[in-house]
Structure formats: C-alpha cells, structure tokens
C-alpha cells in the first residue's frame, strides 16, 4: 500500500494485512456503465480543454479576489437585509466561572528534560520571511528558524544539512508562526499563561535567525543562560518564582518581548494571518457545541504595540468577520450547536478574505470516516464590504484546503487528495487554470476535525519562484516557473531542505496509579455506589438499591444498613419506595431475565413479603402506593419499552404510567399475594425514555411526575377527557438540569446542574432552573460539597436528600434560611461555605461476598478432597509475559496450578508439583496466556434502569477479555454495574472505568471548568468516592485550558488516580498531554505518520498509547475493514452472544480503498514507538461486534510491524503495567489472580495473530468457562447464565 509518496512507503514484510479483501466488494462495471463513464470522461476532457484555452485567450482578465469592492459593482452589497446567523448568539455561558490565576510554566512541576537530535519532524507549520526568505517553523511545541541559505539551489541539490535555530522554547506550546507584511514582527499561537491557545506577537530582528536564537546574547545574556539549570530546578521543586527569575526565564525562552493579541479563556484561536496594513490579523476562533469538536469562525484582532505593556487585551475582545453557516431549517437559536464552521483564513486584499471549510457535513453535525476522494473541503473568498462570497475551488474531487496566496496575489495554492497521492495544486486566479505541480505531499487531514490544520501551513518564497512546504518529515523546496501565459507551473524537482535540530523539552513525571486488585478479592468487599434513593414521609429513613439489592438506612445512625426482606434472595431488586403514609411497608421491583418485572411489598417489622400479581409481563419501574386511612390504595408505576440489555422483542408496548388498585394486608392476613386490580395505562405527556424519571403520590389521587427537566402533576380524582388524558399541571422546568425534584410543601425545587445539587425556592414554570453565575434564579442555594445524584424530597416535602458514593446527604429545607445572607453574597458558589455546616451526612456500609470467596465456597461444596479448590493445566504452551523476552516467557510442555482463584505455580511439566486431589485438565499443547485487557472498552448497558444480566459483559468474557477499562462511563451507575458482576448477580470481566468524562465542551450534563484547585478536587472526588479503591482513573476530555488539566493532574497524584485523556483529534493538545505526564493518550495522534521528533518524545516520555486502530483518526475506520471482509451476521458464536439486530446492521458495507485506511500508517507509527520503549495497549472501543472486534484490533496492531508476541504483550502486561494493576494481573505468574485464556492444541498464536479468537477456555479469578458458549466448567460444572430474550431468531 502507498502511504506517503516519498519516504513512507511501507513494506508488506513488516506485517501482512490480517484479512483478505473480498473481490465482491468491488463490483465490475457493466458495459453500459463503462460506456457512460467513457462518454463523461470525454466530455470532461473537452470542457477542460476549452477552459484552459479560454483562460489563455483572456489572460488579462482581472483577479476577482484582489479587486476592491469599488471595482466590483456587480457584487451584492451588505445592507440592512443581511441576516447574520450569529446575530443572536451571545456566547455568555462558558466558562461558568473565570479561572483563578495560573501559569502553566510555574504552577506545575517539570522535573525532567528530554534532549535529543532530529533530522525530521512531524506536521511542521511554517512561514517564509517576506524579505530575507528565512524559514520559521514549529516542531514539538517550539519554534525554529532556518536561514534562507538552507534552500539555495546548491545546498538542496547537494543535500547540505542546515542547523535549525530555536527561537521560542519553554513549557508553553507554540505553533502557527506567521510573519508580518514587512517582516518586522512574528505572530504565533501559544498557550502561555493560562494554557488556552491565543495569538501572540513578538518582534523579529533584522538579523534574522542568528539574532533570534535563544542562545544569542541579543536574546539572553550569558549570565541569564548560565542560571537556567539552577532556576529550572527551583521550579521543579515548587519554589515560587520571583519577578527577577520570571524575566530571566522569559528571556531564555525568547518570549520576553512577546505581547498577547487575543485573550480567550474558553474558546481558542489558531492560524493568525496578517492584514496587508500590518495593523490587525485574522485568525480562526474555535467554538465548542455540546460536542467537543470546535467549529471555526473568522475573527479580526487589532495587533497591539509591542511597547504597550500597560493595557492588557480584554477577555473575548475581537470582531467576528466570518460566521458559521446555518443548515437549512435551523433557527438562530441553534447556532451554538452548529459543529461545522470555516477555517484557514487569510487576507487577499484590504477587505477580502480567503478561507476553507467543510462542505460535506452540511447538516450541522460532524461525521467520522468520510470519503476523502469525493472531497470534503472547499475554498472560498468573501468580500467583507459587499458580502459577496465565491467558491474558488470546489470540494469535488479530492477536496481543497490550506489555501495560500502567492505574494503577488495571482496564484492560489492548496492541497488535494488524488487517488493514493496528495497533490500540491496551483490555481491561477486570472485564468482559472489548475496545475498539479507535485504529488509528494503527506495525506491531508480533511477527513477529521483538524484545529491544527488540514495540512501544515506553507508559504511562497519572497519572489514567488518557489513554495516551501512540509511533507513526509521534511521541509521541501518546490521550485516554480511560468508558462507562456504567465501562469505558475511546476519548475525543477522538489528537494528537501535538510535540517538538524536539537530538541529540548521539559516533561512532567508520568502520572501513575497503583492498585492491587487482589485486595478487592479478599473476603467481604464494600460497595460504594448506590442509586434509586427514596425517603420516608418525614425524612428519617431511606431506601436505596445496592447493585441489585434493596437496603434500608436510618438517617443519622451509625448502624449498618439492613437488607429489605425479599421473596427470592438470589434475584435482583430495584426501585424501592415507602408505601404512602406507612414507614413500615416497602414496595420495590424484582427482576427476572425470563419473566421480567414483578413487585413485592415487604413489612419491615414482621419480615413478611407479599408478591403483587395480576400484572402483564413488562419492564416496570418506580412503583409507588398512595397514602390513606384504609387498606384500599392506588398503585402507580412506569412501564418501560425495550432496552439495550433486555432487548426489543418481548413486552415492548403500552409504555408510560400505569395505575391500579390494591388492598394492603391487614393484621392477621395469611395470603402472601396481593392482587393488582384494574391495572391500566393512563395517557400522560411523560417521556418514558427519561432515565431520571420518577413518580410519587402527593395525595391519595394526585401523582407528582418528575423528569430530568420537568415536573408536573396528574390528577386522578377526575375522569379522563375524551382523548383519555387526565388533567396535568406544570410545576417547574429545568433550563439545563440533569435531575429535578419538587417540594409541594415549600414550592421549591432541588436539582442537579453541572454535577452539583442545588435548591431554588418559590419556583414556578417561568423560573429558569440552572446555576450559571449571573443567570441563576434568586435565592439559589448550592447544597452539595462535591456533587451528588438521586436527589429527592421526603414524602412531606420538608427534607432534601441525595447520594454521593457511600454517603447519604440530607438537609431540612427550613434550615437553609439561616444561610440566607451568605447565599445572597456568594454569587459564584451560592452559599456552600455556610450550607455545608447544615448537612446531615450518613455513611452507608454495605458489603458483598467477593468472587474469590464465592469460588472457594462453591469449590468446597463440590469437592471430595482437601484440594478441592485446585485446578491444574498440564501439557500447555505458556506465554507468561513475565520477562519481556520471548525466549524467557515461552514455556513448552508446561503446567499451571490454580488454587482458590489465584495462580499457585507455573513451570515445566514434572518440575511443578500437582497437588493431590487437584482437578487436572489436559491442555494438549495449547497456549495459556494472561487474560486480555481491553484498555479502551465501551458498552451501553449501564444506562438501563433494570438490573438485567448483561450480554455485553458475557460477550467480553467469551472472547477472552477478563478485564475492561471504560474511559467514559456514568460515575455511579458504572460502579453499580460493577457491583452486580463482583457480587455474582451476573458474569462478566473485571470492570474498571474513569467515571463520567471531565468534559470541556458546551454540554450542560458533562461540562467542567476546573477553574481552580477546589473544582479539580471536587471533580475527582465525584469519581473516586463511587468506586473506592476500584476507582483509579479519570478522563480529561478536551478541556480547553491547560491550567484545568494541570490542576487535575496535581490533584490526581494525591488520590492515586491515573489520567487517560481523549485524544480528540487535537494534535497540539495531544502533545501537551504527553509533556504534562498524562498516563496515556487514548486514540491515535491524528497525524497518523509520526517522525523522530514525536516518536522519541512519545516513547521516552512514559505516557502510554491506546491507538484504537478500529476507530482511528485520519481516514476510514479500521472496523470497516472487518465489516467488509467477514460474514459477521452469520458468525455462529456472535449470534450466540450478540443482539442480532446489531449484527444485521453490519450486513452491508461500502468498499474503502486501502489508501483510505489510515490505521495502516497508525499501526506503523505505534510499532516504531514500541521498539523505542513505549507501552502500547489494545482497546476495541466497544465497537460492534463486541468481543470479536478486540481480536481485530490485535490484528491491526500487528500490521505495522509488531511481532505476535509484542501484540500479545500489548493486550496483557503492558496495559496492566500502565494502569498499575501488574501486581495482580497481566502475566501468568504465581501469586497473581487466575485470569487466563486457554487455547486448543494446534492453535499457534506466535504464527498467526488471527487465531487469538479461537479460544477454548476463559478463566476469570479461577472460574473456568467454555469460551464457545460460556458454560461453566469449574467449579459448578454445567451452569450457564440465563439472559433476557434479546433476539427473535
């Protein structure tokens, strides 16, 4: 396959493709289509010839984008009728709070320095000095200069290497350099200071590179340079920087005279381009929607005087010139959600701008894995005076981006994909002629969101006789000439401008967490996460669900919670509430994977349990019983439709609120059954899909319905209208709430917003319920210290309660008035400093039997000897992964002894003693390897309200994945689900996750500012407290301020937490993740081919990589290769474990040429880094089909040049080491947990990586299953989990 034309051609010997591409996906042309295609080709050729002839004939026609508006009277003028799509967009929500002062260079320690030499670089954005011709470029976050002499004809012809001179260094990440028109100043992008990308400007010396050298006396004196190491050490030790030290540091970095041009604290700015006057710039300002994909706008900024240090730039200053377009049918109120904008702006004249934009995602939503060959970006020009906009280059075919004008304005250069090559193209703006002048570029990134540019910026030489551009790791000199009509065309052969650079980068210590999973397997283990909270009438007792078990907690008591009596102790229970008016009766739901929901009422005093009957089969939730003086009561509950885990096959109709009548048992009642009479659905406006929906009775005939953002009542006392609807009354609406509860007693509302719990008094439907400072309702009070969920009122509406981990918080509404003065004065955190003293916090202690303890107990039951909990595998081929060398890790003819869930012994047959009475399993020479770790797994079942057994969890195990790490899961529900696996309610792998992402985008549900150290502590506490010692990671997801990311890293070090950030397609931010010591980078660096500058930085930094080839950035997804080459719907094992509708959705796929599959390049880059020492991991992203896709990811990792052994290490021990789990799992080692995969004899994992899917047994904590159908082999032979009916066939 062709990767990059010049230096990136990959030999197939490094690793063959894991599958064979079927010819059926490239159907042959019919004779009719061939004839049609030939005719269209002929027609296009004739038209092109005519246009070229016409352009030559009329070569003197004026250049439309250079003409001023006065000379272009035909352009429509901008008048009062112009309706700017952004005219109603206020951009006044985020950040919620401005950041506390922070300097990324001094408030975060960098104790290490990496120094290394390179002669190639990755994604080098450059500019050429308009007079001297010196080249300035960015590399690995610093700026360098090459003198014009480096690309003279003689030097490039002879391959002479020039020394790249550092001109801007230090901790800040600097990029996008651009000279002013006169060459006296340099604009650039930098995250200096707060860590938000802004535009800066600095003076440029007439002496060029030499005088700009950071080691030049003209930049920093020898005395200042001599103090560098000493003063760097002071910073690394946390010694606060003095003003004198600060000035010396800035001088050494080359930024002492730099001046800020923009001052953004949330949105960020890139790609500065100077106005011809030199007085202002235009740049791309990036905006988040609720997705963290920036949409670009063109903004104008005045350039301040370099001498003016007294007047800082105002926050958000600047002027919008080019707005985002609104898709057809969108109103201006939707402007914030437009994910597609414009970018790469530059001035073509005083009032004319040229830019590029994605025209394929025309519906306002960014889509992945687009077809680059059909074209994605177009190039436009816009006259700002007249408003006239013109398409200069259409997207079809191959796209057009990174528009760059020649200095005389006649020639527009851009990049375009042409089949398996990337072309540098020139368009003559007078004739309209296109010239493809070089096919040696690296593939562009127009397929993804690319704030670093779809291609690195390039420039014409001062005399327009050449283009200087990066490609394939080098800066190239591309000579130009002119044809007979004055059009610029290809000149001599492009040649690299060879350079040598010494990179010196400060790096932080890599963040590591250490967790011994064995500590989570001993005896009884504590649950930390709970849900389905309900308070009694007075707020003195609480009910909640603990991973499928209902508990009662007396509020304020240190007595442990008590389990509510049930009829079926091994079943899962959920959604409890107190029977109205009686704190001794509890109603809750019982789940069966076969029969679905049933209700039980438990008498807490007597322990008697009553089962409710006469209900149709269904998925029921939130059962409530009205109060009253008699035994005759009304019951109400919610019927749900299908779900991820329960399927969409059985009992899916008539969703909504149901009511019926019951008679409560009276003293002396002997029947264990309560019949529900007249059960019926009532017509209401509820949304049954709202995952925070709950109901309660506020009188014997009035229901209170609480959705995540709306509260209303349903009056059952009057008959329904002719449409079957009862009278509803709206009580409150949440502007951006995730949970909402209403007190009928105080007419106040408690809600969750931006992850905290709040109370607002005197609420009605016109009250905007949210917590944005300056926009919040009067009297808003923050209740939570670190956050909370499951917010409820007591039955009488006087007490508010919520959960956070094993802590139940309550506060009487009446006490909040004592903090009224503090609440009024505190306009940012709404009185929490006072309210915290009013909270009643009850610690919940709930325990379960650990898996190892359960296995030991079950083994003893079925054993006949003293060693009844011992299993020995003999005659096995063992890959231990203990040593890092294949020769040391490979044991042929070996034995593995498992005892009580642990590995007891490993070695050669005959050298390992087989305990007497052990169960012996003949391995027949088959491989035994450590259980696989899916380092980047996703699944959906945790969002389901019902505690159904999970086909997703079972599927992971069936394919050998014994540990999963999910880098984006709901904080408490993820750990509630984990508890169901660990307590034995369902089978599955070891579950770890980051909790909810710490998100930078404009989503009210997920957004975090992390504007100070306290917010960092709160964010990590919200995650850690729900999982206890099983919570050891968090995910920074495109937080725009590096200060926010650094605050989290500092806090994480104190809480034993790792950071696995979302790569997010932001090349520059990814590099700061590495430099700042984040544990991994999730997904590949979006530039798929990395060179020595970044290969070494990434590999030597200590940060790991989870590239997820199957959903890689930069091209078509790797998963599509599997979809196109295997009959997934017909795979018997997949059909046994997976929902068939998911498989059917993979039946038909579109052929993607190999040159569209960027995973081939990604895999090569990862292999190079592994060979330099990085730890790579295997993560399948939860892509369908689950399980099998993990093995496909291993196959794609092999393609780039890893050996099978190296791939298997990535899937096991490397992930364990990176995550700090290697004391417990990751290798076949005595003393570790018995998480193993066993293969049948004849399967050679070292010969064919595709055979990893052919498992025989999977072992998790010593429990053994047949991998083919998950029938238990040991200790309970023949046992098999029952799943809900998820499939029809």
Q: What are 779-827's pLDDT values in tens digits?
A: 999 999 999 999 999 999 999 999 999 999 999 999 999 999 999 999 9
C-alpha to C-alpha distance for 637 and 632, rounded to whole angstroms? 17
CB 622 within 8 A of CB 637: yes
For the chain, how long is the longest CA-to-CA vector? Answer: 109
pTM: 0.94
C-alpha to C-alpha distance for 694 and 691, rounded to whole angstroms? 9
Tokens of 1022: 């919200």
What is the CA 471 to chain-centroid distance, rounded? 29
C-alpha to C-alpha distance for 947 and 621, rounded to whole angstroms? 11
Confidence at residue 395, expressed as pLDDT on a 0 to 100 scale: 98
Residues sharing a CB contact under 8 Å with residue 81, sequence separation 6 or more, in sequence order: none
C-alpha to C-alpha distance for 74 and 70, rounded to whole angstroms? 10
C-alpha to C-alpha distance for 450 and 1067, rounded to whole angstroms? 8
Burial of 389 (0-12, 13-18, 19+ CB in 10 A): middle
Helix (H) or strand (E) holding 781: strand 781-782
CB 591 within 8 A of CB 601: no
First to last CA, the chain: 41
Q: What per-residue string of b and e applies to 971-986 under the rule 16 or more CB within 10 Å gives b?
A: bbbbbbbbbbbbbbbb
Confidence at residue 488, expressed as pLDDT on a 0 to 100 scale: 98
DSSP 8-state secondary structure symbol assigned to residue 452? T
Sheet strands (E) in 973-1041: 990-993, 998-999, 1033-1034, 1036-1037
Confidence at residue 796, expressed as pLDDT on a 0 to 100 scale: 95
Confidence at residue 523, expressed as pLDDT on a 0 to 100 scale: 85
1234: nearest Cα among 906, 859, 883, 889? 906
What Cα–Cα distance (Å) separates residue 1008 from each residue in 196, 386, 451, 1015? Answer: 15, 41, 21, 8
C-alpha to C-alpha distance for 1127 and 24, rounded to whole angstroms? 12
Residues 707, 713, 715, CA angle at the centre, nearest 5°?
145
Under DSSP, is residue 93 helix (H, G, I), strand (E, B) or coil?
Answer: coil
C-alpha to C-alpha distance for 1193 and 938, rounded to whole angstroms? 14
Confidence at residue 80, expressed as pLDDT on a 0 to 100 scale: 52
Q: Is the dihedral of CA 1062, 1067, 1069, 1075 positive or negative?
A: positive
CB 953 within 8 A of CB 988: yes
List beta partners, residue 859: none
Q: What is the DSSP string of 1158-1225?
A: THHHHHHHHHHHHTTT--B----TTPSSTTHHHHHHHHHHHHTT--HHHHHHHTTHHHHHHHT-TTTS
Tokens of 738: 């995730």
Tokens of 69: 């508006």
What are the residue ranges in the chain where pLDDT is below 70?
1-81
Confidence at residue 63, expressed as pLDDT on a 0 to 100 scale: 52
Tokens of 1127: 């009959």
Cα within 13 Å of Cα(1072), Cβ side: 31
C-alpha to C-alpha distance for 338 and 365, rounded to whole angstroms? 7
Q: From the CA atom positions of the chain, what is the Rg in Å?
A: 33
C-alpha to C-alpha distance for 1196 and 1209, rounded to whole angstroms? 15
Confidence at residue 723, expressed as pLDDT on a 0 to 100 scale: 84
Confidence at residue 582, expressed as pLDDT on a 0 to 100 scale: 77
Tokens 């016109």, located at residue: 766
Confidence at residue 75, expressed as pLDDT on a 0 to 100 scale: 36
C-alpha to C-alpha distance for 991 and 936, rounded to whole angstroms? 12
β pairing state of 541-545 and 902-908: unpaired
CB 140 within 8 A of CB 501: no
Confidence at residue 81, expressed as pLDDT on a 0 to 100 scale: 65
Confidence at residue 3, expressed as pLDDT on a 0 to 100 scale: 29
Burial of 820 (0-12, 13-18, 19+ CB in 10 A): middle
């Amino acid at each position: 396959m062709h990767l990059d034309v010049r230096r990136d051609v990959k030999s197939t010997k490094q690793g063959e493709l894991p599958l064979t591409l079927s010819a059926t996906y490239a159907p042959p042309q019919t004779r009719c289509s061939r004839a049609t295609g030939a005719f269209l080709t002929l027609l296009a050729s004739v038209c092109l010839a005519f246009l070229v002839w016409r352009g030559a004939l009329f070569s003197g026609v004026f250049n439309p984008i250079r003409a001023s508006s006065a000379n272009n009277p035909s352009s429509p003028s901008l008048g009062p009728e112009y309706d700017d799509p952004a005219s109603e967009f206020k951009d006044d929500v985020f950040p919620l709070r401005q950041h506390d002062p922070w300097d990324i260079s001094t408030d975060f320690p960098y104790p290490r320095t990496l120094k290394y030499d390179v002669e190639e670089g990755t994604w080098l954005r450059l500019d050429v000095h308009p007079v001297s011709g010196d080249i300035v470029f960015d590399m690995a976050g610093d700026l360098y200069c090459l003198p014009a002499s480096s690309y003279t004809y003689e030097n490039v012809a002879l391959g002479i290497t020039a020394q790249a001179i550092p001109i801007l260094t230090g901790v800040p990440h600097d990029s996008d350099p651009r000279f002013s028109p006169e060459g006296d100043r340099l604009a650039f992008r930098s995250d200096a200071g707060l860590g938000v990308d802004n535009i800066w400007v600095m003076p440029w010396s007439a002496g060029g590179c030499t005088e700009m050298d950071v080691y030049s006396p003209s930049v920093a004196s020898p005395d200042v340079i001599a103090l560098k190491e000493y003063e760097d050490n002071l910073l690394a030790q946390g010694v606060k920087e003095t003003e004198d030290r600060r000035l010396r540091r800035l001088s050494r970095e080359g930024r002492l005279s730099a001046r800020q041009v923009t001052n953004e604290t949330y949105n960020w700015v890139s790609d500065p381009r100077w106005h011809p006057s030199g007085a202002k710039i235009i740049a791309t300002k990036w905006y988040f929607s609720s997705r963290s994909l920036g949409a670009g706008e063109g903004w104008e900024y005045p350039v301040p005087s370099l001498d003016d240090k007294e007047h800082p730039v105002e926050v958000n200053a600047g002027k919008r010139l080019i707005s985002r377009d609104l898709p057809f049918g969108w109103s201006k109120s939707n402007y914030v959600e437009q994910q597609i904008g414009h970018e790469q702006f530059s001035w073509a004249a005083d009032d004319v701008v040229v830019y590029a934009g994605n025209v394929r995602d025309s519906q306002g939503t960014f889509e992945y894995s687009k077809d680059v060959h059909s074209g994605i970006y177009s190039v436009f020009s816009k006259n700002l005076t007249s408003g006239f906009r013109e398409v200069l280059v259409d997207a079809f075919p191959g796209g057009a981006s990174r528009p760059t004008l020649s200095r005389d304005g006649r020639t527009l250069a851009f990049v375009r994909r042409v089949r398996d090559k990337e072309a540098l193209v020139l368009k003559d703006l007078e004739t309209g002629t296109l010239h493809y002048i070089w096919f040696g570029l690296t593939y562009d990134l127009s397929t993804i969101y690319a704030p670093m540019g779809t291609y690195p910026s390039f420039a014409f030489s001062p005399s327009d006789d050449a283009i200087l551009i990066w490609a394939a790791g080098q800066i190239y000199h591309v000579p130009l000439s002119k044809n007979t009509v004055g059009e610029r065309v290809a000149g001599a052969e492009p040649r690299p401008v060879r350079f040598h650079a010494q990179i010196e980068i400060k790096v932080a210590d890599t963040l590591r967490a250490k967790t011994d999973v064995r500590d989570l397997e001993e005896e009884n283990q504590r649950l930390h996460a709970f849900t389905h909270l309900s308070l009694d009438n007075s707020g003195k007792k609480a009910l909640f669900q603990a991973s499928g078990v209902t508990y009662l907690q007396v509020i304020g008591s240190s007595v442990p919670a008590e389990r509510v009596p049930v009829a079926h102790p091994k079943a899962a229970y959920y959604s409890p509430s107190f029977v109205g008016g009686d704190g001794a009766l509890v109603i809750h739901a019982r789940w069966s994977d076969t029969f679905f929901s049933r209700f039980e009422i438990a008498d807490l005093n007597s322990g008697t349990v009553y089962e409710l009957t006469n209900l149709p089969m269904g998925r029921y939730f939130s059962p409530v019983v009205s109060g009253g003086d008699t035994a005759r009561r009304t019951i109400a509950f919610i019927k749900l439709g299908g779900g991820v885990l329960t399927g969409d096959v059985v009992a899916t109709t008539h969703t909504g609120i149901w009511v019926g009548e019951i008679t409560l048992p009276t003293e002396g009642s002997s029947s264990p059954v309560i019949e529900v009479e007249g059960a019926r659905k009532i017509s209401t406006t509820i949304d049954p899909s709202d995952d925070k929906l709950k109901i309660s009775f506020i009188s014997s005939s009035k229901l209170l319905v609480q959705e995540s953002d709306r509260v209303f009542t349903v009056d059952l006392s009057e008959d329904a209208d002719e449409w079957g609807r009862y009278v509803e009354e709206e009580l409150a609406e949440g502007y951006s709430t995730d949970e909402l509860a209403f007190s009928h007693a105080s007419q106040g509302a408690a809600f969750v917003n931006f992850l905290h719990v709040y109370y607002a008094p005197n609420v009605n439907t016109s009250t905007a319920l949210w917590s944005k400072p300056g926009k919040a309702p009067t009297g808003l009070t923050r209740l939570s210290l670190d956050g909370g969920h499951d917010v409820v009122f007591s039955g009488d509406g006087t007490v508010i309660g919520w959960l956070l981990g094993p802590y139940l918080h309550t506060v009487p509404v009446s006490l909040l008035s004592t903090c009224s003065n503090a609440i009024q004065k505190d306009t940012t955190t709404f009185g929490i400093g006072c309210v915290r003293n009013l909270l009643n916090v009850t610690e919940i202690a709930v325990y379960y039997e650990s898996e190892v303890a359960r296995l030991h107990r079950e083994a003893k039951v079925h054993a006949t000897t003293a060693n009844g909990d011992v299993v020995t595998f003999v005659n096995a081929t063992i890959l231990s992964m203990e040593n890092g060398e294949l020769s040391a890790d490979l044991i042929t003819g070996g034995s593995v002894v498992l005892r009580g869930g642990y590995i007891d012994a490993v070695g050669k047959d005959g050298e390992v003693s087989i305990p007497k009475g052990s169960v012996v399993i003949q391995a027949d020479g088959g491989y035994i390897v450590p259980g696989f770790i899916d380092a980047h797994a996703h699944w959906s079942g945790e969002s389901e309200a019902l505690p159904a057994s999970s086909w997703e969890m079972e599927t992971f195990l069936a394919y050998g994945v014994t540990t999963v790490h999910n880098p984006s899961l709901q904080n408490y529900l993820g750990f509630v689900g984990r508890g169901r696996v660990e307590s034995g309610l369902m089978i599955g792998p070891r579950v770890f996750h980051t909790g909810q992402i710490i998100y930078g985008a404009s989503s009210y549900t997920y957004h975090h500012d992390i504007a100070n150290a306290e917010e960092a502590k709160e964010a990590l506490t919200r995650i850690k407290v729900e999982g206890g010692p099983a919570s050891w990671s968090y995910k920074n997801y495109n937080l725009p301020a590096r200060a926010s990311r650094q605050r989290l890293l500092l806090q994480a070090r104190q809480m034993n937490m790792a950071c696995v950030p979302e790569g997010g397609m932001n090349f520059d931010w990814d590099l700061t993740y590495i430099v700042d010591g984040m544990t991994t980078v999730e997904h590949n660096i979006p530039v798929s081919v990395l060179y020595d500058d970044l290969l070494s930085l990434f590999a030597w930094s200590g940060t790991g990589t989870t590239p997820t080839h199957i959903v890689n950035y930069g091209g078509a997804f790797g998963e599509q290769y599997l979809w196109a080459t295997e009959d997934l719907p017909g795979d018997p094992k997949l059909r046994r474990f997976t929902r068939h509708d998911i498989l059917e959705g993979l039946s038909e796929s579109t052929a993607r040429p190999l040159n569209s599959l960027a995973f081939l390049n990604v895999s090569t880059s990862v292999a190079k880094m592994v060979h330099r020492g990085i730890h790579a991991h295997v993560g399948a992203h939860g892509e369908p089909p689950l399980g099998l896709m993990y093995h496909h990811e291993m196959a794609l990792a092999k393609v780039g040049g890893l050996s099978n052994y190296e791939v298997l290490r990535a899937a096991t021990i490397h992930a364990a080491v990176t995550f700090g789990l290697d004391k417990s799992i990751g290798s076949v080692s005595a003393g570790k947990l018995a998480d193993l995969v066993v293969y049948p004899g004849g399967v050679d994992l070292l010969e064919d990586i595709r055979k990893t899917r052919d498992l025989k047994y999977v072992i998790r904590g010593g429990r053994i299953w047949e991998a083919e159908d998950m029938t238990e082999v040991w200790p309970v032979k023949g046992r098999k989990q029952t799943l809900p009916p998820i499939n029809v066939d």
